[in-house]
A and B are shown apart, each in its own frame.
Chain A
């Protein structure tokens, strides 16, 4: 599965245009006209939204023009944005981060980061179980000391640590 750069350019521009439309719509909820005391709160965001749509449209036109020009030089699709293998690498890196965030929201950041580091070292980097476990615990301990003790910034603890009396 290959995604060409120009396809991605157009997809991204459509996405930004959609965001622009949402911004415009949101601005109309606040009123975009001139009230009795000057511009209403939606006035500025409304034009910001319009400019996003304008810029996105410009990008689409530019990409289409370049694709038309590029076709004569390099054949069909031109430069690749991402191929299947690279996409898998990125997803394999990103999904565990999402999992860490989900676990952290549920069981607290310390447990989330510990499990994530263990997974990353054991599975992704291919270390043996014991070194991975020790490293994960070390990361948790170092962060605990830095945030709870040195900078006095409490991180999310979650139910498990609280059950052990760590707040």
Chain B
């Protein structure tokens, strides 16, 4: 029960006026980011990150995580009111949310979504509270080989469970690794892949890649699709809200199932997008009212929302305890931790318990604040979204360009971000998943160091990756995950190949 005492210490850190203000500000910024298409959670956190370099790490991480919660909630607002997901992970919410809103029950749909999302998020945070120090203690025994095995498992699960083309996932991930190796090699001090270009010696920042791929790429895509917001009017009546909140416990079976799916997909790097789709599909299959899904069925809102948010918060568990982010946004935050001079992973729990438990405590507070604020600001954002995208788009573009510049005060980074924007646009259209790219970019150096150190200790023999039960099990699991696409192809006899395309679209935009 040591965790409980530490959590209380964490609350003492998080519950200051200063930090509460930061949470409110972060959630509001996150709502803006989540509501506006073209600005997603990974991109929003990247844009804000350079501004936190001068803050103390606890305030900075509270700001960024609060923004993350806000973005997760904000994405659902547009899904329900406008049938346009503000975040990739809220695509599944449109299936039943928008039909219910069109039947004149927008307030009920929104309240159901936010309440179940809040329950999902709190479940996720509870899982983090209970498991994180245990996982971290376990991971203290890890050597270089074990670390490489964990990275290997994380990346293999992307390829094995991506749902889209495993080749595209592989290419996206390896391009991320290649981008991470540009610059000075940390072990030998030689410059790599810079081709005598001075601008590349400092390496390519993952923030630039995220701003380009997720920000500018998404903007180009939204522009091309000719976005128009034709929304449902939402009038929020306090009695309707109260009745909808009271309705939520009735869906306990869906809640539990979805929260479990979400936690699992969040801890393994499946991410919130995959979790919400899986939860919706399973809900349709197992719910007694499954045949009403897609026509404005409340359970069809509860299922993806709960899973989306529990996955979103659980994605922070492996980031904190192992140093392996469970989603693209978590990857960006982990990059932030490293910039602030903290090394995420098991040691963080013993070196900076105030940071870890302050953060975990702030997650409880941040989500409660997010539920309240998101309900309060629905009319405001519904109003903002009536502005045409030809006006909103350029404003977001300016934010992205400035964001790219502020990463290191180089104009070269702006050009790089524009390049990544085109890549992101083409990749998204062709269903290349972008999350593995970002993960590989953030983890590239660490994975390479772990690999090289392990090979050094074993004198170049790959047998070290199977030298004890722990590392062999992890490598075995990784290999099994890698072979999943082949196995499923063999089982299906190759006849289901075209169906994969439909499944690939949401994953490719994975948050």
Asked if residues A124 and B394 are in contact (CB atoms below 8 Å), the reply is yes
Min CB distance, B431 to chain A, in Å?
9
Which of the four size classes fits the interface of chain A? 35 or more
Contact of A52 among B175, B185, B192, B498 (CB under 8 A): B175
A112 CA to B414 CA, complexed, in Å: 12
Q: Which of A40, A41, A81, A154 has the most CB of B within 10 A?
A: A41
Which of the four size classes fits the interface of chain B? 35 or more
Question: Which residue from chain A places its CB closest to the CB of B189 in the assembled complex?
Answer: A41
A59 neighbours in B (Cβ, 8 Å): 165, 167-168, 171
A117 neighbours in B (Cβ, 8 Å): 394-395, 398
Question: Which residue from chain B places its CB closest to the CB of A16 in the assembled complex?
Answer: B171
Contact of A45 among B170, B181, B409, B426 (CB under 8 A): B181
Asked if residues A62 and B456 are in contact (CB atoms below 8 Å), the reply is no
A89 CA to B187 CA, complexed, in Å: 47
A27 proximal to B (CB < 8 A): yes
Question: Which residue from chain A places its CB closest to the CB of B190 in the assembled complex?
Answer: A41
Asked if residues B388 and A125 are in contact (CB atoms below 8 Å), the reply is yes
Asked if residues B406 and A55 are in contact (CB atoms below 8 Å), the reply is no
Asked if residues A30 and B190 are in contact (CB atoms below 8 Å), the reply is yes
A59 CA to B431 CA, complexed, in Å: 12
Min CB distance, B365 to chain A, in Å?
24
Q: Which of B170, B178, B411, B455 has the most CB of A within 10 A?
A: B178
Asked if residues A39 and B401 are in contact (CB atoms below 8 Å), the reply is no
A97 proximal to B (CB < 8 A): yes
B390 proximal to A (CB < 8 A): yes
A167 proximal to B (CB < 8 A): no
Contact of A151 among B51, B219, B397 (CB under 8 A): B51
Q: Which of A46-93 contact B (CB under 8 A)?
A: 48-49, 51-52, 54-56, 58-59, 62, 66, 69-70, 81-82, 86, 89-90, 93
A66-B498, A153-B406 given as contacts; is B192 within 8 A of A42 (CB)?
yes
Q: Which of B416-465 contact A (CB under 8 A)?
A: 418, 421-422, 425-427, 429-430, 432, 448, 451-452, 455-456, 460
Min CB distance, A160 to chain B, in Å?
16
Q: Mark B187-199, 1 if CB is under 8 A from A, else 0.
A: 1101011010000
Question: Which residue from chain B places its CB closest to the CB of A90 in the assembled complex?
Answer: B224
Contact of B226 among A39, A51, A89, A101 (CB under 8 A): A89
Asked if residues B51 and A113 are in contact (CB atoms below 8 Å), the reply is no
A90 CA to B188 CA, complexed, in Å: 43
A30-B185, A139-B395 given as contacts; is B167 within 8 A of A58 (CB)?
yes
Min CB distance, A161 to chain B, in Å?
15
B414 neighbours in A (Cβ, 8 Å): 101, 104-105
B391 neighbours in A (Cβ, 8 Å): 120-121, 125
Min CB distance, B460 to chain A, in Å?
6
A8 proximal to B (CB < 8 A): yes
Contact of B452 among A5, A20, A44 (CB under 8 A): A44
A37 CA to B456 CA, complexed, in Å: 8
Asked if residues A52 and B167 are in contact (CB atoms below 8 Å), the reply is no
Asked if residues B51 and A44 are in contact (CB atoms below 8 Å), the reply is no
B175 neighbours in A (Cβ, 8 Å): 16, 19, 52
Asked if residues A156 and B405 are in contact (CB atoms below 8 Å), the reply is yes
Q: Mark B165-189, 1 if CB is under 8 A from A, else 0.
A: 1111011001101100100010110
A30 CA to B226 CA, complexed, in Å: 47
B468 proximal to A (CB < 8 A): no
Point out residues on B near A: beta carbons under 8 Å. Answer: 50-51, 54, 165-168, 170-171, 174-175, 177-178, 181, 185, 187-188, 190, 192-193, 195, 216, 219-220, 223-224, 226, 388, 390-391, 393-395, 397-398, 401-402, 405-406, 409, 411, 414-415, 418, 421-422, 425-427, 429-430, 432, 448, 451-452, 455-456, 460, 497-498
A-B contact pairs, 22 of them (CB 8 A): A9-B430, A12-B432, A13-B171, A19-B175, A30-B190, A34-B460, A38-B452, A39-B460, A41-B192, A44-B451, A45-B181, A45-B192, A48-B181, A52-B175, A62-B167, A97-B397, A100-B397, A100-B401, A104-B401, A120-B394, A121-B391, A124-B390
Closest 3 CB pairs of A and B: A58-B167, A120-B394, A55-B171
